[in-house]
Amino acid sequence: MGGAGVFLPEALDPTPYRLPPPGTLIVAVTTFGAHGALPPPPSVFSRWHQLFFAAARAATPVVALTPLPTHRLPAGLPRRLAVVTWYRATRVQRTTNTLRFAAHNRPQARGRAHRS
């Protein structure tokens, strides 16, 4: 998969990301490449699509946690990506429920699984 990879505690350089076993929930904490008022670079979208569709083929659900408000979510993300926005008013129970929902609702061919 594309992207910089992940940083492991014992490494100074990123390691390529490998999907976990099927059925394992992937939780990504991200701003989707947004920096202040600047939009994310186009490469961010292709990397998210690569991750999302590779995970879907492997029956591994993905949910993204982001501090971005719903109206600032980039438009080029995979349509079925489960996204949870949080800010000071977000309740922990809501985030927990959404993560549970994502873990039990594997990616399917149709529909939209956007959460905010």
Question: Has this prediction a pTM greater than 0.85?
Answer: no
CA-wise closest residue to 26 among 4, 10, 46, 6: 6
Q: Could you tell me the pLDDT band of residue 4, with boundaries at 50, 70 and 90?
A: low
Q: Residue 105: what pLDDT?
A: 62
Per the document, the length of the chain is 116
**Is 60 exceeded by the pLDDT of residue 98?**
yes
Q: pLDDT tens-digit profile of 53-96?
A: 999 999 998 988 888 888 888 888 898 888 888 776 667 777 77
The three-state secondary structure class of 46 is helix
Distance between CA atoms of residues 59 and 53, nearest Å: 10
Q: pLDDT tens-digit profile of 10-64?
A: 888 888 888 999 988 888 888 888 877 777 888 888 888 999 999 999 999 898 8
